[in-house]
Every structure is written in structure tokens, then in C-alpha cells.
Structure 1
Amino acid sequence: MTTPDRPPVASVNPHVVRDWADACVAGLDELRGEINDLNVFPIPDSDTGSNMLFTMRAAADAARTTPDDANLAVVTRAMADGAVSSARGNSGIILSQVLVGIADAADVLIADPDSTFNQLYSSGLRLAARGAMRAVSNPREGTVLTVIAVAAQTAAEHVGDSPADLARIVADETAEALERTPEQMPELASAGVVDAGARGFLVLTDALVGVLTGAMQRRRRYRGILTGGGEPGHSADEACASSDMDYEVMFLLDGAAGEHVATLRTRLDEIGDAVVIVGDSSGDAGERFSVHVHTNEPGLAVEAGIARGVLSDIRISCFALDEIKKQTVNDGPPPRHKRAVVAVVHGEGAAELFAEAGASVVRADDGLTPDMLADAIRATDSAHVVVMANGAMSSPDLVSVTAELRSPQRSVVSLPTLSMTQCLAALAVHDPSESPDADAYAMAEAAAGARWGSLAIADTKMMTLAGTCEVGDILGLIGSDVLVVANQQSEAATALVDLMLATGGEMVTALAGAQIADDTVAVIDEHLRRSYPGVELLVYQTGQQGDLIQVGVE
């Protein structure tokens, strides 16, 4: 029998862990709203998704601060400490324990040349399950704690599989355990939902599958389940909270001895519930603890911490005030317009083209800042705004801008377009008479279906998928991959078009930049007429300074 390929822990590329952290952030960001909507235990404050995202983002940021040559133990420890120090809410603290478990496993296994990636994952989940269970004063079945334990048990049973198969079976069993949470906790069954924290943990296990296999797991949308003969488990007015506490208190505690932490837990249990205390497990400067409690006596909770060590990053939130803020309606005048599309462009010709197509244009010839984009969105004075940054702004900044500008009177949706040709394809199907969701979906579908490429001048010598290029060579890119290297623009252009039409196409759109040679567009036209009769060519003089030309195929 052939033994599955199981790479030793020492040979596991730390970049895989960094990629996993980034994939977790992306997944939690995408599903934040869904997870928030599932949040009914211990308090229905609709913040589990947001808290897990904030915590995981801190871990991913910490991983990126480690040196490129840092080993696996250093990277995983940085993630764990970053998560513990920045954990938000009960769910964020428990998430931090998953990362602490993996870091602890890496510390132990990295010195053993015979240990494997599978042992790292299995041991990490086992330690995470134990640490998370110890962190919670009154653990309940049917929460994320139960689901982490199932994942750990599954990993232990399948440690002999290949890494990809191990990741898949753990993710699938996690999903099965998530489905069972309403059967295990009455509060979830009453509300008709699965556990929010467990749904967030499933994002983490699915992200690892995606990193190891390149194929993301597809899960149903967890909108809730039906109980009691097909009737919703609770009415809109029915309370589903299991806590009578009004405040959430969190702080970081330094300089506390182990026995002091035990007495702190006892004291917090006396004045509140949902008590979670975890340490960052680092040993050089003494252990730092992240403390969480729901209470009606926030002052006493803080005093209990002060009596046992040095406090920092104290956060107190009132559930009632948070709910009032969520329900507060903007008293300003309603938007004057129903719908708008904001398009970020480069070049004078592009600005005219997209304005004629009905977009509110933002010029990014000299760069684009979040404030510039935010001002453009506000200037539309519209109730529903679709934003296409076309690669001019990083995804985190784009998400931050659109999230900040959403309000009860304005929805903002960003489409992940990376080129002006994709944006043009989306604008072609824009229909203001459709519902906002249907219109945005159609635009996103059109943009995703538009293959795009570009020509650029190499400014450095480098190795590409098409071979080594020299400074001044003409590069043909499809997406961000260099697939053509040539000496002349016309040669690179025809080769790029051939690659893009290899899988078919009915129309080619060319956005000519300021530095494109006069005969290059004519060569493309002649090449299409000769080699691809019936394929339509549309050419626009957009005048961008970066790409010589952008090409779209539909």
C-alpha cells in the first residue's frame, strides 16, 4: 500500500500558513453578515462575524510582520499572539485559542524531523479544543466548543490521510457538527439558527481546504432552520437571549500569577456570565491574558482585574445602547437619486467613455485614496451605489470605504473588477429599472465573464511564465500573469489576442493608452479580420498612462 505524501512539519512552507490566514480573513469578511445574523447566544448582539473577522485580521497582519525567512513556529506564534492581544468578543477569544493550539503544536513538533503536517493540524486542533474549553467558565454543548472538539477528533482519526484529504474530512465533519448545534442547545433551536461561532470556525476549516487544494468548499447559506412542524422557532418580538447582563467588558491583563487568574475567574463568575480568560502562551515577558465577561457591574469587573495585575485595552460596551445605535435612522434628507454607478478610470478618454456610459467617474491618474472614493460615492446622492475600482485600490481599503458609507438610506456594493474592460462589460448590462440586487448581480456576472488582458512595457529584467524579459520588452498579460514577451507592440498584441481567443469569443474591446504605437491597433484589426472572421472589434482611445492597451474578450 502506498503511504500518502505527508510533508514533515519542518518542511511546511510558512507562506502556506500566511495564505491560510489571508483566506480565513477573506472568508470571514464575505460571510460576516451571515454569521452576525446567526448570533443569538450568549447575547443576540449580532457581532460574532465582525468580532471573528477583527480577530483573524489581527492574526493575519501579525503573520505578515514576520521575516520572510521565519520558520513555521515563529509565524504561527505571531498569529496566536496577535489574535489574543486583539481578540474581540467571546467568539474572538475562542478563535484566538484555535491559533494558540496550532502555535503550541508547531513549537513541539518542529524539532522532530519525523513529524508531519497532519500531526501539526491534528495536534493543533486537539490543543485548541482543550484550551478553548478551559477558557470558558461554563461551557455549553452546541456551541463552537463542541464543533472544535469534533474537528479535533476527526483529525486524530484521519491523521494517516493525505494533507488535502485530512483537511476535507475535517471541514466536512465540522459542517455536519454545525448542523447538529440546534439539537444540542435549546436557545438555537428556539431561534431557528445554527451556532454563529461554529459557523465562523467552519470558515477556517474550509479556508485550509482552499489553500491546500485550490478549490473552495461550497456551503449552503445558513439563514436558519425550521422547528416545531415547519413554523419558525420564534417570532420577531420573542427574546432569545440567555443572559440578563447589560454590558460586555473586555481587557488585557499583564503581570498576573496563575492563582490570581483563577480567583479572577471566580470573581467574574460571581458578577456576570460568559466569562472567558485566555493567555497568549508566550513566556519571555510573562503571560498576557485576554479577559471577557458579560455583567451588570462593569466597574466591579474592571476593579477585579486591577486588583490582580496591569490592565490595558479596556473595552466596555452596552448591549442596549448598541441596539439603539443600530436602529437609529438618519434624520438627513433622503437621497435625490435611486441608483448610481461609480467607476474609477485612468485617462481622459476613459473618463469621457465611462461618463457617456452612465457612470460617475473618478480619475485615478495620480493615484486613488479612500477619501477620494468616499467623496465620489457621497456625491452621487443615491440610495443604491455600485462601485468598481478597477484595480486602483486594494481590496481591504475598498471594503472599508463601502462599509463605512452604508447607512439606512444608502446601500453600497463594490464589484471586484480589476480592469476598465471588465467595468465596461458590467456597465453594458446595467439596468436601473431592475431591483438593486438583480442589477448588481447581473453586472457582477458580466464583469466576471469578461476575460481581460493588457500590454505593458517591462521596467525590469525578470523571469515570467513566458520566459525571461529584458527592460523595454513588451509584455502581454492575461490578468496579472505575463504570458507573452516580445520586442514589438504589434507582435505582442497579436500573440495576446490569440491566447485570449483560444477558448472562443464574439467581441474584442480594446482600450488604447497614451503610449500605444499608431499601427498596433491597425495590426490587431487586420489580424482579427484574417484569423477570426466574425469576431467584432471595438476600439476606444482611453489615454491611460500605465497599460499600453487593455483588451477584453466577451
Structure 2
Amino acid sequence: MGYLNIDGQIFYNMVVNASNKLEEQKNFVNSLNVFPVPDGDTGTNMSMTLRNAVLEIADAGEKSIDAIGKQLAKGALMGARGNSGVILSQIFRGIANGIEGKKQVDSSELGSALEEGARFAYKAVMRPTEGTILTIIKAAGESAVKSDKKDITELLEEVCDYSKTVLDKTPDMLPVLKKAKVVDAGGMGLLIILQGMYEALKDHMEKLHLKEADNAKIQPAAKNLGEQNIKYGYCTEFLIHSQVPDIENFRKELKKIGDSMVVVKDEDIIKVHIHTNDPGWVLSKAVKLGELSKIKIDNMREQHRHILNIDDFKEDSSEEKAHESGENQTERKKYAFISVSIGEGINGIFKDLGVDYVIEGGQTMNPSTEDILNCIEKINAENIFVLPNNKNVIMAANQAAELSDKLVKVISTKTIPQGITAITAFNSDMDLDENISAMEKAITTVATGQVTYAVRDTEVDGKDIRQGDILGLIEGSIKQVGKDKFQVCGDIIDEMTGGNSELISIYYGDGCNEEEVNDFIKKLEKKYEDMDIQCYNGKQPLYYFIVSVE
């Protein structure tokens, strides 16, 4: 027995099975990542987006397909993770638009809804690229509209077959796929969803249950350091109004008496941030360069004891309450920041620079639209900046900004170093447009490199890569392949530095030995004696080193 019409309950079963099928195969979709690096997360993003959508309709009961479609689209919108997840959410938004006002749909109406899903998906992308998930949803919609099948099971079988044929051609549409010898990961994820919907009808599946998935974590103000681990007790930051052209000697002097140091010059203002045990000494050196303003000194040991005392007193307070700093403020701030980050050390750097909320994620776990929106809603500020720090988070951040009724500006930072540079370029004395301009200009001066490892054998740009090889990436492109992470890191730094380079920042991850890192830094200091070299324990997973050159 086929299906000439499907109602809300049948549609529910279709998307639940699609979600379960994608959850089972998400690692396979992840493995289709063009580059053989360990952060391929398309399958994870799409699976978690769809799962969040299905959770929205879990208790729907006997409802019309219109009602189910609207709730599904809302859940996908809020749960969207990564670019593929945001596009998927727009596909479901389009489908919901196509079935609006209907209790059930026939094959022709479902075909039109799939075509509407494609239209919404293309609208969501500024520069649509063929050979991606967009091509597959377009193929699904076109084949559904052209089909003369009345049985919806037969219709979806035809849609799946044609979509797979088009998916197999994506390497011919995108040279990067052909070189990597893979089909598009997002397209494969969508095909699995379509196949799951088809199989639910073919096998008359009912009363299905969702598979579990992890959630991104939001990190409140740095509370994870024991007081005994706070080597330098005073967080010191200020501005120097100075015409001094060279600040390298000042940087070198500060480096001797603190850590977490950021010294950035922008025209006639020098922004300084440092953790030290002698803030008076720092200020006495700084005042020789010019007039000081915006001086702020915090006793981090005292703050830590205060946090512990609060937690001891409020034994019944939940983790969620610990995050609620924004809306509970008695005074509305002019500016606030939300930053996506990864690694305890890097999280701490963002908090030290004044970020109000850090959302842990970026690689392998992109935060959802709802994760970002929740942080936006908790902040009591006139202007809120969001730093995605990953190209795969920008769309979700923009979507969250559009959903909020607050004034939210997404600074399109694609890397952790860009995010750090953006916030150091911020000046609370400037107006919104001036700050946006300053931050967007600042991130263009940052070159970013990464050192990681290959997860599979492949060939990229003529480079023969074997599983386990050390890879050196510059702006996302594989530039170096080797066996030693320090050698590869040194090689990409060589390639990144030029005549105008002044600062090298290195964030080392979980897979690095501190003594070996210190030896490596000493070698770099000898090699680049005219440049300032800063090193931080980022504690990030997957990447041995994240490097920036400015």
C-alpha cells in the first residue's frame, strides 16, 4: 500500500527516521571533508541541526502537516550548526512555507515544497556555489516537480535516485572535490536525509525514537583555575596615547615580568594587557611613552576567592545561573562581547580581554544559532559584538543576530587570532561604527597558520599526504607536509613572515610538551630577533599550534 497523501504524523515519522539515519552515518559524512584534517564536522552539524528540529515536534501528536512543518522549521532554525546546518534549516523553512495551510499534502504539493526548500536555501547564501548541498536540494526539488508519480513513496524513490546521480557528479563541478576524490559532504548529508524519509514510507515505520547527540558548552568567566595556579595575580590593562613609532623595546621589557601579554599599536594609541605581579612597574614604564588612560587593574586571586565563596554559599545554584551575568546587571553596558573559542587557555585569553561570554566550540563542535542567541539575550548592553572565529560559525552567528531584537553586530572573524586582534582593536571611547571599522580593518592585518595531522591518505595540490603526517596550513590551505610538528610550524612561520611583519603569536595545544615548546620559542627568537614573539598555552585540541603573524 502506497501513500497518495501524507499528514503531520506520517511526516513526523519521515523526519525522525531521516534524523536517525544521518546520526548513524554522520562520521562517514565527516570523512568526506575535502582536507584530511581532524575537524571535518559537516555530518555532525547536519545531524545535530536535524535532531534539534525533530525534538521540537517530539510531542506534536496528531497535528496537520502545516503545524509539524512550522515547528520543524523553528527547531532547525534555532539548532542550526555550521554552514551546512544553517543551509539545512533554510531548506526546512522553505518546505514549511510550501506546505503552509495544509492538513496533508499529495505528491505534487510535496514536490512544490521541496522546490521551495531549494529556493530558500539559495537565498540564504550570498554567493551560491554549485557542487554543494545547494545543488542537491535543487536537484531534489526539480525532479519532484517534474515527476508524474502519484504515490509519494515512488516519488521520493525517484527523488533519491536523481539526487544521488547529481551528487556523484559534484566532483566535476568543484575541482577541490575532484582533487580530494570525494563527493560533497553536505550533499551526501542531504541525500541521507532524503533516503531516510523515503525508507520511512517504504517500510511503514512508526513510533520512532531519536538518537542522542552532544551539545556545545558555554563557558562562564574563567573559574577553572585554582588560586595556586595563578602565577601573576594582577590583570592590568590601559591605553597609552603616544606618537612613539617603535614599541618593541617596551614589549620586551613587559615580557620579563608577566604573561598573557597583548601590546598592540594603532596609529597614536597603544593598547596594553598583561598579567603581572607588579602593575605599578608596568605603569611606570608605560607613562614614559605617553599619557595613560582607561587604567584597569584587577586582583585575580581575590576574584577567584570571591567566586569560590559565592559557590559555597549558593550550593543549589545551577550551572545555568552561573552564566547569567548580563541581564542581571543593574547598569546597562554600552558594549559587550561574545566569542567562540576552543581550548581552556584560549578561552581564558578572551575572558581576560573583556569578553562577556565564551562559547566553546569552533572545530568539530560548531555552536548552534540558539547557543549564540541565548548568550545575546543574557547580556544587558546597548551594542553586542559576536566574534565567530571560525568561517563555519559565521552564518549561525548572523542568523542569531537577525533573530534578536537587540543591536548585534557580527565581526566576521574566521580564526582565533583574528578574534583576538579584533577585540584588541576595540576602543570603548569610540562609537559603534568607528569600532566596527577598526575591528574589521584590524583582522585584515592578521595571517593565520595551523599545525595539525592528517586523518587519511590523500593528495592535495600535488602534495602526497599519508595518514598521521603533520600538516601546516596557512589561511586554511595546506602548505607544508612533514613528520615533525616543530619543523612544520617553523616552515609555515617562514612562509608567513615578511618585511612588514612585527609580531608572531603562537598558541600551543594539548599535544605539545612545554619544555620542547620553550626550546622552539628560543630558536624562533634568535631567528627573528627583530620581531616580538609571544607564546601562550592555548590547550586547544586537534591543533598542535595556532600561529598568527601581524
- TM-score where L is the length of structure 2: 0.41
The structure whose Rg is larger is 1
- TM-score where L is the length of structure 1: 0.40
